[in-house]
């Protein structure tokens, strides 16, 4: 009898048919968007309130049942794979927008609310929530992975955009990490401790997020460059000139071709920047002119502008779908997705060395990135059944991480550690890694909260 089966009757008494052992449901919850082999949980729970989550956690903790919080499974490092069995806790049934405070520029949402749903709700209010990963991820999942996206350059990541969390701890206690004041110097910053903890310290049941005002004017553009280096130089010079762009995204030629094919577009097949300008009418015009001049010096002259909302949305939808587009470009493939981030001063060098290195790679490996933050992804498209392909991808991924660490960068700019980057985490942090482990041991002494993730056990 597994630990879970000892807890099953109590869980059923609590949840009724919102606890399921059906194969189909378990299978869906056994893999995310990564290449990591699927392992289904023993059951899936669909709580609808914080109190229910707390009860579930108490029942599971009493029996030592591993618990895996689940948003929509869009993450890419295997964070929800049930490698230790146990119960998947799917937060999608907690989808209430609890409050919107326009005067305070914040909103309080259940963990299962997606960034898409929150922004739909905000339509017409002149406010928006800025963090925008390409998938329709839950805000709880995004807090858990410290997600970012194309807006992070201007508006920050989940680190900057979470004001407070409601969390169920491993022993079932419910805490609130912070009040709603904009700033506080009262005690340890538990908010930031749980942001990025990937379900290993507790289950996030609600998130207070910052909102931002929709800018007066918005304008987007796509511009091809003769080569990747020219595009990256344009980005760096733009940052250094202090031009306050909102978004600066790079797709290399292969990524752009995949996007063209997937989204039925006909952008020139070249390394391309996707840009967004925000501000006052006049500010946007000024910014655009300055960036156009910088780009022209690098051979980027063919700007395609999108100013009305429909055009802009189309452009950014294409960018957001790039991940899916790239995967479809090799049917049946999964992606080993790299995620390094380096200081801007090292970005050009890091990308150039990476591209030189990848000349020896036999796999398709398009590149794209939030280059304004120094963050870029190479997607190694592997046939998940061919171990030698996985090994090759892992080989080049390791080298990329090593290169980033040598340049004072990080192994993960935004995707998190999950199963895929546990060894890199230790290498990156050294003695600080031991501190992280000791915090994990303190808050989850039985190792039941998403065990085996972030740290190997």
Ligand X SMILES: Cc1cc2nc3c(=O)[nH]c(=O)nc-3n(C[C@H](O)[C@H](O)[C@H](O)COP(=O)(O)OP(=O)(O)OC[C@H]3O[C@@H](n4cnc5c(N)ncnc54)[C@H](O)[C@@H]3O)c2cc1C
- Catalog residues that contact ligand X under the rule CB under 6 A: 32-33, 68-76, 79-80, 91, 111, 133-135, 137-138, 140-142, 144-145, 147-149, 198-199, 203-204, 323-324, 414-415, 450, 453
Q: For its own copies, which is the closer residue by CB, 240 or 301? A: 240
Give the one entry of ligand X, its own copies, none that residue 69 binds, where binding means its C-beta sits below a cut-off of 5 to 8 angstroms depending on kind: ligand X
- Please give the backbone phi and psi of residue 201, each rounded to the nearest 5 degrees, phi first: -115, -15
Provide the minimum distance between the beta carbon of 298 and its own copies in the complex, in angstroms, as a whole number.
Answer: 17
Helix, strand, coil shares, percent, the chain, to 5: 40, 20, 40
* Cα distance between residue 19 and residue 361, in whole Å: 45
Q: Which is nearer to its own copies, 7 or 411 (CB)?
A: 411
Give the C-alpha separation, 455 to 429, whole Å: 12
Q: Which is nearer to its own copies, 280 or 317 (CB)?
A: 280
CB of 41 to its own copies, least distance (A): 24
Shortest distance (Å) from residue 153 CB to its own copies: 9
- Taking the least distance from each CB to ligand X, the nearer of 131 and 284 is 131
Q: What is the DSSP string of 381-393?
A: EE-TT-HHHHHHH
- 188: tokens are 């340890």
* DSSP-assigned letter for residue 199: T
Residue 229 partner contact from its own copies, ligand X, none using kind-dependent CB cut-offs of 5 to 8 Å: none
CB nearer to ligand X: give 63 or 320: 320
Taking residue 362's Cβ as centre, other Cβ atoms within 10 Å add up to 8
CB atoms within 10 A of CB 259: 25
Count Cβ atoms below 10 Å from residue 439 Cβ, excluding itself. Answer: 14
CA dihedral (70, 132, 115, 168) in degrees, to 10, reads 40
**Least spacing, CB of residue 104 vs ligand X, in Å:** 21
**Among ligand X, its own copies, none, what does residue 439 contact (CB within 5–8 Å per kind)?**
its own copies
Minimum CB distance to ligand X smaller for 63 or for 247? 247
CA–CA dist 284, 199 (Å, integer): 40
CB of 52 to ligand X, least distance (A): 13
Chosen from its own copies, ligand X, none, partner binding at 240 (C-beta under 5 to 8 Å by type): its own copies
């Amino acid at each position: 009898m597994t630990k879970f089966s000892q807890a099953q009757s109590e869980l059923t008494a609590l949840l009724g048919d919102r606890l399921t052992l059906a194969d189909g449901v378990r299978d869906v919850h056994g893999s995310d968007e990564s290449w990591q082999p699927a392992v289904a949980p023993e059951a899936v729970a669909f709580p609808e309130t914080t109190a229910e989550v707390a009860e579930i956690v108490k029942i599971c903790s009493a029996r030592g049942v591993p618990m895996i919080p689940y948003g929509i499974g869009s993450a890419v490092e295997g964070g929800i794979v049930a490698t230790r069995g146990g119960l998947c806790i799917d937060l999608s049934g907690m989808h209430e927008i609890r409050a919107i405070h326009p005067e305070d520029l914040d909103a309080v949402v259940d963990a299962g609310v997606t960034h898409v749903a929150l922004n739909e709700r905000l339509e017409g209010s002149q406010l928006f929530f800025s963090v925008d990963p390409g998938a329709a991820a839950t805000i709880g999942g995004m807090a858990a992975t410290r997600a970012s996206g194309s807006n992070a350059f201007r508006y920050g990541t989940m680190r900057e955009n979470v004001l407070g969390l409601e969390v169920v701890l491993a022993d079932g206690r419910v805490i609130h990490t912070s009040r709603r004041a904009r700033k506080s110097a009262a005690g340890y910053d538990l908010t930031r401790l749980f942001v990025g903890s990937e379900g290993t310290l507790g289950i996030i049941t609600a998130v207070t997020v910052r909102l931002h005002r929709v800018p007066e004017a918005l304008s987007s553009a796509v511009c091809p460059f003769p080569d990747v280096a020219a595009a990256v130089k344009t980005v760096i010079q733009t940052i250094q000139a202090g031009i306050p762009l909102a978004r600066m995204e790079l797709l290399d030629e292969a990524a752009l071709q995949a996007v063209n094919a997937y989204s039925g577009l006909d952008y020139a097949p070249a390394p391309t920047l996707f840009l967004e300008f925000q501000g006052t009418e006049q500010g946007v015009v000024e910014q655009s002119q300055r960036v156009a001049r910088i780009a022209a010096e690098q051979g980027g002259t063919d700007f395609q502008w999108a100013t009305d909302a429909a055009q802009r949305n189309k452009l950014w939808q294409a960018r957001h779908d790039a991940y899916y587009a790239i995967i479809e470009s090799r049917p049946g493939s999964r992606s080993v997705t790299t995620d390094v981030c380096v200081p801007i001063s090292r970005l050009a060098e890091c990308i150039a060395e990476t591209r030189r290195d990848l000349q020896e790679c036999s796999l398709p490996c398009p590149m794209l990135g939030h280059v304004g933050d120094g963050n870029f992804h190479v997607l190694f498209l592997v046939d998940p059944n061919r171990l030698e392909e996985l090994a090759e991808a892992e080989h080049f991924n390791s080298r990329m991480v090593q290169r980033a660490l040598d340049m004072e960068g990080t192994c993960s700019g935004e995707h998190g550690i999950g199963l895929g980057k546990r060894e890199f985490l230790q290498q990156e942090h050294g003695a600080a890694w031991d501190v992280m482990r000791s915090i994990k041991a303190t808050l989850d002494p039985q190792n039941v909260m998403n065990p085996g993730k972030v740290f190997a056990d």
